[in-house]
Amino acid sequence: MKRAQLIDFGKPLVLNTASDPDPKDSEVLLEVLACGVCHSDLHIREGYYELGSGKKMWVKDRGVSLPLTPGHEVVGRILKIGSKVVGVSVGERFLVYPWIGCNACSECQADLPHLCASPKSLGVYQDGGYSDRILVPDQKWLIPIGNLKPEVACSYACAGLTAFSALKKALPLSEKETLVIIGAGGLGFFAAQIVRCLTNANIIFLDVDSDRLKKIGEFDSSFQTMNSSVGEAEIRKCTGTSGAKSVVDFVNNSETAALAFSLLSKNGKQICVGLFGGEVILQTPIIALKNLKIQGSYTGSPIELMELLNLVSSNRLLPVPIHLASLNDANSILDSMAGGKGLGRTVLIPTS
């Protein structure tokens, strides 16, 4: 099999080959038809997350070991199955739920493997989809995609799921209340695609990139789009007199986290999603006096992914811009992502 592997943190991925894995027991070997490129892949290549004040959280301290084949947004076709696999057949296509857990802890038992304390996520803790083959540890992580194209379905395993789960945490919202969404990049595009299926609230998108905001506005004419550089006072004028009932921050750096907090109304929620990193100082009495809730949101559950795919299959969602590339382009795509470039989602086609 052909793959792009991370051999050393902070250095480019290396193209190499290896023998195809032989699936055992409940394992399934897939031919990778499409693999989305995610900002988390860039963090893994760099080897750290920014924590602010010059501090870093090293991914190796989170259990990430090398060499590693990145890629967690995977659609594939079954090539071989283990001896205990039933109900699926060679040739069938599936989206892979990548946020695999230990299967034993309380979070896994509650069907929340993405919150497992001993995660085994594909493309993070074990080899992922920057390859023309991927070994899935158990058939239960395979989700049918019906008639969806692989390049469309793959990014719902992370980008779409992350946006969907975060938006659900921002609910309930009435049509008179305001939801602010910070970040009009990859996650922001999926949020724009999904949010009107969940709420009729007043929606404001914030970003510093005018081209991205223009594209977001094309999803729905009811969306307000603003450059966040105009400042809190101008943004607040558009939220209504009391502020935003919920703010979903897909950037989550020092500046956006502080902005999100400042925009909240009483009984408001700040949903922290992005991993761009930093630190923020909050006025703690305000949290109590305004009864505020600050919550993290990390990917989503298998049930949420199936809910999302049902929405996608219903044809109620407008398409997100997709750019196709080959495995040879993986490094240049990550370099472009590091520079904040690109609209929509880039998908690798390893067999091309």
Instruction: For residue 197, give Cα distances in angstroms to 18, 174, 201.
Output: 44, 13, 11
**Helix-helix angle 302-313:159-169, to 10 degrees:** 100
Q: How many CB atoms lie within 10 A of CB 211?
A: 10
What is this structure's pTM? 0.96
Give the pLDDT confidence of 248-304 residue by residue, as tens digits: 999 999 999 999 999 999 999 999 999 999 999 999 999 999 999 999 999 999 999
In 3D, which of 158, 67, 74 has the Cα closest to residue 348? 74
Q: Which residues pair with 58 in a beta bridge?
A: 48
Q: Which residues pair with 135 in a beta bridge?
A: 29
Which CATH architecture does the domain made up of 2-158+300-348 adopt? Alpha-Beta Complex (3.90)
CATH 1.10.10.10 given to domain 161-296:
no
Give the pLDDT confidence of 190-215 residue by residue, as tens digits: 999 999 999 999 999 999 999 999 99
Task: Give residue limits of the domains in the chain.
Answer: 2-158+300-348, 161-296
Helices (runs of H) and strands (runs of E) counted in the chain: 11, 17
pLDDT at 316: 83
Cβ atoms of residues 114 and 298 within 8 Å:
yes
Q: Which residues pair with 295 in a beta bridge?
A: 271
Q: Compute the distance between CA of residue 66 and CA of residue 13 in angstroms, rounded to an integer.
A: 11
Cβ atoms of residues 3 and 131 within 8 Å:
yes
**Helix-helix angle 159-169:186-194, to 10 degrees:** 60
Q: How many CB atoms lie within 10 A of CB 172?
A: 11
Which parts of the chain register pLDDT below 70? Answer: none
Cβ atoms of residues 135 and 150 within 8 Å:
no
Q: Compute the distance between CA of residue 26 and CA of residue 60 in angstroms, rounded to an integer.
A: 29
- For 271, the enclosing helix (H) or strand (E) is strand 264-272
**Which amino acid would we find at residue 151?**
E
